[in-house]
Amino acid sequence: MDLVNLTAVKNRLIESGLKATHQRIVLLKAMYLFDGHPSAENIFEAVSGDNPALSLSTVYRVLEDFEKAGLINKVATRKGIQRFDSNTNPHNHIYCTNTHDIYDFYDEELNELISDFFKKRSIRNFRITDIKLQVNGEKLNPDQKVLINNNHK
Amino acid sequence: MDLVNLTAVKNRLIESGLKATHQRIVLLKAMYLFDGHPSAENIFEAVSGDNPALSLSTVYRVLEDFEKAGLINKVATRKGIQRFDSNTNPHNHIYCTNTHDIYDFYDEELNELISDFFKKRSIRNFRITDIKLQVNGEKLNPDQKVLINNNHK
DNA sequence: TAGTAAATAGGAATAATTCCTAAATAAAAA
DNA sequence: TTTTTATTTAGGAATTATTCCTATTTACTA
């Protein structure tokens, strides 16, 4: 199934309790198509060519609405700027201090490790909604990809 | 040894290659004394009563300098606002979605679990400087503390 | 105690985000 | 269909957060 198919996007909006307005459809598509962890401004730039009447304040409001509806998440950043993530599956983040790029990484073993840990250690007076491992550091060669390696076969 | 002792603070600055100016001493002390993960504004408010001539731009610049010197760290936030952490020991963060409070938590076993994991899985083309587990969720009773529980004895 | 490089105050400039409200629009009702 | 109504949006103003600029001040060095 195609995430950015028109009716699929409409349905996602409606399932989440949001009216399928033109702007929301455009913006949710843009979130799915964006490769990375865009800011509101990034998304605005991505769509405003085709949608010249779209307002930046609408982008902010709609992304906020999407987040409240659980369609996307906010990503924590150290730079003090809001960024968003359309990937709502459990995964982790690698942060490059130099470029401020954020890379996703999945690792089933790691997810289990962490979830097992929190079976033993609960947090009193707190309801956990999401756990992310945040790996900070720096990309070495700017021309090469950052890749997680499996050395243990 | 007292972290906020005058000569101790001076020495820390000098060891980090920074001149021990009045403003830096005041601000580093304030960082050590602040309970939590303050913004630049928080620190400014905390010290400006006793230091009316201190400028907010100095606070921003000095906290940035402290971070570069490794005296403090920036904390990733989802709200899009810079916050700082004077605790440079390995520890993790619990984020309350409602109050935007951030709680530290230490767990030796968890730290080991994670460091063992990254002995097996390295990240190609990336130098890790720091790893943090970021636990998102909501504080249940606002009048009670958030505490990590050890159920496994 | 003077000289020099580094740091600061203070405010202006910029960037990021939110707020406001008249107009437009989607969904429901007629 | 058209009308109604509640929601949503555009657009810009307002606010908040952060950085930049530069004359002045300060900490160290000789």
Task: Answer yes or no: are the C-beta atoms of A29 and A54 closer than 8 Å.
Answer: no
Structure tokens at B29: 């002390």
User: For residue B151, is pLDDT > 80?
Assistant: no
Nearest CA in chain B to A122: B149
Q: Encode pLDDT of A99-122 as tens digits.
A: 899 999 999 999 999 999 998 888
Q: pLDDT tier at A153 (50, 70, 90 boundaries)?
A: very low
pLDDT for A2 equals 67
What pLDDT was estimated at residue B1?
Answer: 55
Contact B81, B63 (CB under 8 A): no
Within chain A, how many helices (H) and strands (E) appear? 5, 7
Contact A3, A71 (CB under 8 A): no
Minimum CA–C1' distance nucleotide for A63? C17
- A73-75 and A83-85 beta bridge pairing: antiparallel
Q: Biggest alpha carbon distance in chain B?
A: 53
Pick among B68, B99, B125, B127 to test the A interface (most A CBs inside 10 A) = B125
Give burial (CB, 10 Å; 0-12/13-18/19+) of B1.
exposed
Res A1: pLDDT: 53
| Binary contact (A95, B81; C-beta < 8 A) | no
Name the nucleotide with the smallest C1'–CA separation from A24.
Answer: D8
Question: Are the beta carbons of A137 and B122 closer than 8 angstroms?
Answer: no
Planar angle of CA A127, A125, B145, nearest 5 degrees: 135
pTM of the model: 0.91
pLDDT of residue B79: 93
Nearest-CB residue to A113 (from B117, B126, B134) = B117
Q: What is the distance of C-alpha B58 from the center of its chain?
A: 19
Give A43 to chain B, closest Cα distance, Å.
Answer: 16
Q: Helix, strand or coil for residue A91?
A: coil
Helix (H, G, I), strand (E, B) or coil at B4: coil
Residue–nucleotide distance: A57 CA to D14 C1' (Å): 13
pLDDT tens digit sequence for A22-61? 999 999 999 999 999 999 999 999 999 999 999 999 999 9
- B82 vs A151, more confident: B82
Q: CA-CA distance, B98 to B141, in Å (whole number)?
A: 11
**Contacts (Cβ under 8 Å, ≥6 apart) of A79:** A100, B82
Q: Which residues lie below 8 Å from residue A22, measured CB to CB, with a gap of 6+?
A: none
How many angstroms separate the CA of B83 from the C1' of D18?
Answer: 13
* Stretch B95-119: mean pLDDT: 92
- Provide the CA B100 distance to its chain's centre, in angstroms: 15
Contact B137 A122 (CB under 8 A): no
Let me know: does A126 contact B140? Beta carbons within 8 Å. Answer: yes
Contacts of A141 in chain B (CB under 8 A): 125
* B11 strand C contact, CB < 7 Å: no
- 13-72 of chain B touching strand C, CB 7 A cut-off: 18-19, 21, 23-24, 51, 53-58, 61-62, 65
Residue range B33-64, pLDDT digits in tens:
999 999 999 999 999 999 999 999 999 999 99
Read off the amino acid at residue A41.
E
- Note whether B151 contacts A80, CB cutoff 8 Å: no
How far is B58 from B145, CA to CA, in rounded Å? 34
8 Å CB contact between A94 and A103: yes
